[in-house]
Amino acid sequence: MRSLHHILLLLTASVWSTPLSAQRVVRSTPFAEISVRAFHAEGVGWDPRTHSLYVGSVRDGVVARVSMDKTTSTIVPAHTADLRAVFGVTVDTLRDLLWVSSADVPERDGGVATPRVTSAIHAFGLATGAPAGRWELPRDGRDHVLGDVVLAPDGRVWTTDSYGAGVYRVPADLRDGPLEPVAFSHPDWVSLQGITFSADNQTAWLADWSRGLFQVDLRTARVSPVTDTAGETLRGIDGLYWTPRGIVAIQNGAIPPRVIRVTLDSSGTRFPGVEVLDHPPGPGEPTLGVLTPEGFLFVATSLWPFYGPGGRLDPDQPLPTAQIRRLALP
């Protein structure tokens, strides 16, 4: 997710402004499109049983379902259970739930200049879209935006706060109430984005858009920065996905944006370099994705670069169609 918040961070933090790679690599192919104008796709979830793709929209505050035959329907309409801009989307087949992170931002159609409405994690019925639960952050008068929402290997639902630099979980028993703050942090955290877990649920990695990648030992709560390699950087990462061969990351802070694979050493805190898997073609910006048997499916054309002052879109401005691309992971 890149918003005005991230643009300000880009101006004040040492990120980069020069290309990381002169040669573009395009291996992804189109998988699905949502033809609704100004549908700002951000997060995606996948149901392997029905081969259905669930796509959230920041601007519309809805979740669309793309069926196997590529037809699109709205599964969660706008304003359902006080749903605002939709960021992360995750399918939970064990509970038949759709998990969604939501907050108010100026880029939402009708949104506010600052996200004073409490950011929340929502659960909806996977087949019906009916509300099944809502968990909020504390109402502390500060701005919060819950970006990614993921399932850990043990089934717990985790989320990161892009504005408040915190990490939270839905209560294990799904009891109504506030989100649970997780008792680890790091002084360098500014804008948390993706989070991913090792298969044994002992280690997590978090991306901070402005500061890079961090490893978390879930047994001790120790947080360690993943050290950059000369000539490479792990800043500007949005989506983050663990695989046995390395961590797949969507790096929309790079010029040009790219999908990379980060291979870590045995400590999990250093990497010898990155493998560039894809430079998504076309306008817009890649954001979040999902690992599936069909390949890595990811949003390729989010609308963040097209917003003007106040988070508004020019009604006469040509906009890209919301495109989900598929990348086979070697």
How is residue 294 annotated by DSSP?
T
Asked if the bond preceding 272 is cis, omega within 30° of 0, the reply is no
119, 82 contact by CB (below 8 A): no
Residue-level pLDDT at 74: 98
Q: What is the DSSP letter of 250?
A: E
- Kindly list the distances between the CA atom of residue 305 and the CA atoms of 18, 52, 174, 245, 274, in Å, as whole numbers in the listed order: 18, 28, 37, 32, 25
41 within some domain: yes
Q: How far apart are CA 156 and CA 153, in angstroms?
A: 7
- Which of 293, 296, 291 shows the shortest CA–CA distance to 327? 296
Q: What pLDDT is attached to residue 141?
A: 77
Q: Beta-strand (E) ranges in 29-108? A: 29-34, 41-47, 52-57, 63-66, 72-76, 85-92, 97-103
Contacts 24+ apart (CB under 8 A), 10-17: 10/210, 10/253, 13/190, 13/210, 13/211, 15/210, 15/233, 15/235, 15/236, 15/253, 16/233, 16/235, 16/236, 16/253, 16/254, 16/255, 17/255
Q: What is the pLDDT of residue 21?
A: 53
Structure tokens at 133: 């639960």
* Structure confidence at residue 23 (pLDDT): 80
120, 172 Cβ separation under 8 angstroms = no
Domain annotation covers residue 148: yes
Q: 303 near 38, Cβ under 8 Å?
A: yes
Residue 98 lies in a domain: yes
The answer to whether residue 20 is domain-embedded is no
State pTM to two decimals: 0.93
| Alpha-carbon distance values, 276 to 71, 181, 232, 327 (Å) | 32, 34, 11, 12
Measure the CA–CA gap between 201 and 33, rounded to whole angstroms: 34
Cα 84 to its chain centre, rounded Å, is: 16
CATH number for the domain including 51? 2.120.10.30
Distances (CA, A) of 139 to 30, 70, 181, 219: 41, 40, 13, 29
Range of the domain at 253: 4-13+25-327
Rounded to 5°, angle at Cα 17 from 16 and 18 = 105
- The number of distinct structural domains making up the chain is 1
The answer to whether residue 19 is domain-embedded is no
What gap in Å lies between CA 289 and CA 296, rounded to an integer? Answer: 7
Per-10-residue mean pLDDT of the chain, 330 residues long, equals 48 43 86 96 98 97 96 96 96 98 92 73 98 90 90 98 94 94 94 97 97 96 90 94 97 95 92 93 95 97 95 92 96
- Which pLDDT value is given to residue 116? 59
Does residue 18 fall inside a structural domain?
no
CA distance 227 to 214: 9
